């Protein structure tokens, strides 16, 4: 064996010994605090199932795994995990729902503990006050279900995908089907409970700056969010949902009309656009084409919706009778339903309206994995014909891409850019979410799929907001660059101002106060403020 090989073996042996020592020290530290019951190592029988359930975006399944998984059932169990991790030198990655696009809650280059909050899911509703306290590990589905069981005229304006954890979507800002009327998820938070780096629990009264930061600035940069107090909103007993489908070819003018007026529609009406590939058949021949769907929600009954559509979108040709007919075929050109709020949640997530509300409580691990890469943009001026032509051309190169366009305006225009860290307010027409899906996660396939997404993102540059080009934290993208080893504030601004614009500096100053030594950190966490370049 050569000297270089011997040196490598020795260094690797020292690395393993150091890791083993840290594991032993961490468990010993926890045992002194009587907190080992819900902590798992890779040798624990339940470790793999907990990790697999955490990976809602399993693209990074083969990346580094946590040295420990802590799944507390009581908030008091979190403090020893923080203090012992600090003492031993382990990072903490915080997971509520596990939907983060880049998997940073369950992977790291360094030894770490995954703090799995999914067992902290208590929900307490006060209809007299019209508020709800929800622990951060509860999913949106659990929250929606609990509200619907209590009231037919209350809702909470949050995301479409109901398996997302409240901890992540709220701390990232959060958009949803009710946002044009009621604002972002984070706009409807009235209090919170957060455990800081010293294990102290803080609320809004104890630290107003921290309360500002976690509503859209990413909670995992500042501490462990334990629970949110949310403002419930009043809705009618009946809402209306509908979908209009068209081929992209020959109908771009309808999309361009949507771009110009969707953000100006009455606040009760949200019409989003979903673009994806489809296959048409003619005899024995099949041909791929690009189609788009207008998927919409009106906060009111059909009879009030139809006059609005005749005014703004007579091209939809939607009649009252269409909303009370049974749809006999999937992918019909138009469909419409008058529904309860909880049914609208199922509809927007492409579930059957006849599915039981308990569908929202699903916590099973999918047997068929779907891998993906996502990113986002905001748009301030309508995309010209050349942009739509480019999108269609690139979509036909790929198998399962998707773009979702969600209109802003209404409530968004009433809230200032600095009210919370989420700055994408007046002047933005809509948000874009890009996705590409694949089923084979081999290195060659995944590289090709991610490469296509990067190509599309680059081609979109002339058509979206710029200086800086902006993005949504809830669709985190590490292609925007990541924190270097020194967690430099000036370098972090490169990606930070995409998400937060002028609010990034204030976020860093809050970080300096609540976590000056940067214990809570990840690839795109807020670093402490510094004037050093």
Q: Which of 202, 211, 218, 191 is nearest to 124 (CA)?
A: 191
Give the pairing of strands 131-135 and 154-155. Answer: unpaired
Residue whose token pair is 């993208």: 477
Q: Tell me if residue 342 falls in helix, strand or coil.
A: helix
Distance of alpha carbon 490 from alpha carbon 511, whole angstroms: 14
Paired tokens of 414 = 């009433």
Q: Active-site residues: which are they?
A: 475
Q: Tell me if residue 320 falls in helix, strand or coil.
A: helix
* H-type alpha helices, 380-488: 385-395, 411-414, 443-459
Distances (CA, A) of 229 to 111, 232, 275: 33, 10, 35
Distance of alpha carbon 474 from alpha carbon 422, whole angstroms: 10
Residue whose token pair is 């949050």: 158
Cβ–Cβ under 8 Å, residues 372 and 435: yes
Distances (CA, A) of 56 to 51, 110, 460: 10, 22, 27
Distances (CA, A) of 242 to 143, 239, 258, 259, 269: 24, 10, 15, 18, 11
| DSSP secondary structure string for all residues of 139-167 | BHHHHHHHHHHH-SSEE----S-TTSBHH
Q: What is the rounded radius of gyration, in angstroms, for the C-alpha atoms of the chain?
A: 24
| DSSP secondary structure string for all residues of 211-254 | HHHHTTS-GGGT-EEEEEEEE-EE--S-EEEEEEEEESTT-HHH
């Amino acid at each position: 064996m050569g000297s270089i090989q011997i040196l490598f073996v020795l260094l690797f042996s020292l690395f393993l010994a150091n890791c083993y020592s840290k594991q032993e020290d961490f468990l010993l530290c926890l045992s002194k605090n009587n907190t080992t019951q819900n902590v798992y190592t890779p040798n624990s029988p339940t470790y793999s199932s907990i990790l697999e359930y955490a990976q809602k975006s399993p693209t990074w399944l083969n990346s580094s795994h946590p040295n420990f998984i802590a799944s507390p059932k009581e908030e008091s169990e979190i403090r020893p995990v923080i203090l012992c991790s600090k003492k031993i030198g382990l990072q903490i990655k915080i997971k509520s729902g596990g939907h983060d696009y880049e998997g940073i809650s369950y992977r790291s280059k360094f030894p770490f503990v995954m703090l799995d909050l999914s067992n902290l899911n208590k929900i307490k509703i006060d209809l007299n006050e019209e508020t709800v306290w929800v622990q951060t590990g509860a999913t949106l589905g659990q929250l929606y279900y609990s509200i619907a069981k209590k009231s037919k005229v209350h809702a909470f304006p949050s995301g479409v995908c109901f398996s997302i954890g409240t901890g992540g979507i709220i701390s990232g800002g959060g958009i949803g089907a009710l946002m044009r009327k009621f604002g972002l998820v984070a706009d409807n938070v009235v209090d919170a409970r957060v455990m800081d780096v010293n294990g102290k629990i803080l609320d809004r009264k104890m630290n107003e700056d921290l309360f500002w930061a976690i509503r859209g600035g990413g909670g995992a940069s500042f501490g462990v969010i334990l629970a949110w107090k949310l403002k419930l909103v009043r809705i009618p007993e009946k809402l209306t949902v509908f979908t209009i489908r068209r081929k992209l070819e020959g109908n771009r003018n309808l999309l361009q009309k949507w771009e110009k007026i969707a953000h100006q529609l009455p606040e009760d009406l949200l019409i989003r656009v979903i673009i994806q590939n489809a296959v048409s058949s003619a005899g024995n021949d099949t041909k791929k084409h690009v189609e788009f769907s207008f998927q919409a929600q009106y906060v009111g009954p059909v009879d009030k919706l139809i006059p609005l559509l005749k005014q703004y979108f007579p091209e939809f040709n939607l009649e009252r009778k269409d909303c009370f007919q049974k749809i006999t075929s999937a992918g019909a050109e138009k469909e419409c339903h008058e529904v309860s709020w909880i049914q609208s949640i199922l509809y927007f997530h492409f579930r059957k309206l006849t599915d039981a509300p308990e569908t929202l409580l699903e916590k099973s691990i999918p047997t068929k994995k779907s891998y993906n890469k996502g990113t986002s943009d905001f748009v301030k001026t309508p995309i010209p014909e050349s942009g739509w032509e480019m999108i269609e051309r690139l979509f036909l190169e790929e198998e399962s891409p998707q773009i979702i366009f969600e209109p802003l305006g209404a409530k968004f225009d009433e809230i200032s850019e600095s009210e919370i860290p989420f700055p994408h307010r007046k002047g933005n027409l809509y948000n874009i979410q890009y996705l590409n899906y694949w089923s084979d996660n081999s290195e060659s396939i995944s590289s090709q799929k991610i490469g296509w997404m990067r190509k599309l993102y680059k081609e979109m540059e002339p058509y979206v907001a710029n200086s800086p080009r902006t993005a949504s934290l809830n669709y985190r993208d590490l292609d925007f660059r990541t924190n270097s080893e020194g967690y430099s504030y000036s370098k972090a601004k490169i990606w930070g101002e995409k998400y937060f614009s002028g609010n990034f500096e204030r976020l860093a100053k809050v970080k300096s106060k609540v976590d000056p030594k940067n214990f809570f950190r990840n690839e795109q966490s807020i670093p402490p403020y510094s004037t050093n370049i």
